[in-house]
């Protein structure tokens, strides 16, 4: 990502939108993130399903490692107005993934505010303009109507069905303009 911004408290910000900050993960994010991924409704369409605190910690560590290897990852998503962690979002492409993915997972009480579309547009624009990505995808469970609407709102179109370890998904994608 572009040169990150460092806040007064030493935390590094990756992207800023009108209402959101996508920043690097910190150990003190664990409580809020663990609560988000423990919610069965939030995790309804995720392969892993609801996760406990230890699994949430491992996910954060995975995102940090992905950033070290790729230079970008799923960032902590924070409401700028109050500083509350509301989820994760950003780019994802571990080895063997079907493409460079823009993705998001938000706390249930953050749904319906346009946050996923806001962060999706910012990540898409950054990937195309700053990183030079030629193509982006989103891997979405076929029944996840909310995420399908977000993918369409950020300019992606349905490309094909995709089996993600036995989970019926769809790949939405778009090329750099």
Per-residue pLDDT tens for 128-177? 999 999 999 999 999 999 999 999 999 999 999 999 999 999 999 999 99
pLDDT at res. 4:
52
Question: At 6, is the pLDDT very low, low, confident or very high (cuts 50, 70, 90)?
Answer: very low
Q: What integer is the mean pLDDT of 56-60?
A: 97
Q: What integer is the mean pLDDT of 102-125?
A: 97
Instruction: Evaluate the CA torsion angle 105, 106, 112, 115 in order and state its sign.
Output: negative
Sequential DSSP letters for 81-131:
TT--EEEEEEEE--TT-SS-EEEEEE-GGGTTSSHHHHHHHHHHHHHHHTS
Per-residue pLDDT tens for 20-38? 999 999 999 999 999 999 9
pTM of this prediction?
A: 0.92
Alpha helices in the chain (DSSP H): 30-38, 53-70, 115-129, 145-153
Distance, in Å, from the CA atom of 90 to the CA atom of 72, rounded to the nearest integer, reads: 8
Which two three-digit tokens encode residue 116? 């996923």
């Amino acid at each position: 990502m572009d040169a990150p911004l460092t806040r007064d408290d030493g935390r590094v910000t990756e992207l800023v939108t009108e209402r959101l900050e996508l920043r690097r993960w910190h150990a003190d994010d664990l409580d809020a993130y663990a609560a988000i991924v423990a919610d069965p409704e939030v995790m309804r369409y995720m392969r892993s399903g609801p996760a406990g605190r230890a699994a949430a910690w491992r996910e954060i560590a995975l995102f940090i490692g992905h950033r070290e290897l790729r230079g970008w990852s799923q960032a902590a998503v924070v409401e700028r107005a109050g500083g509350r962690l509301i989820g994760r979002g950003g780019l994802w492409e571990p080895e063997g993934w079907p493409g460079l993915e823009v993705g998001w997972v938000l706390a249930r009480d953050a749904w319906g505010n346009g946050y996923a579309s806001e962060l999706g547009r910012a990540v898409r624009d950054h990937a195309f303009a700053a990183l030079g990505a030629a193509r982006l995808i989103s891997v979405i469970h076929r029944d996840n109507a909310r995420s399908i609407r977000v993918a369409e709102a950020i300019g992606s179109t349905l490309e094909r069905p995709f089996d993600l370890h036995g989970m019926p998904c769809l790949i939405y994608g778009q090329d750099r303009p």
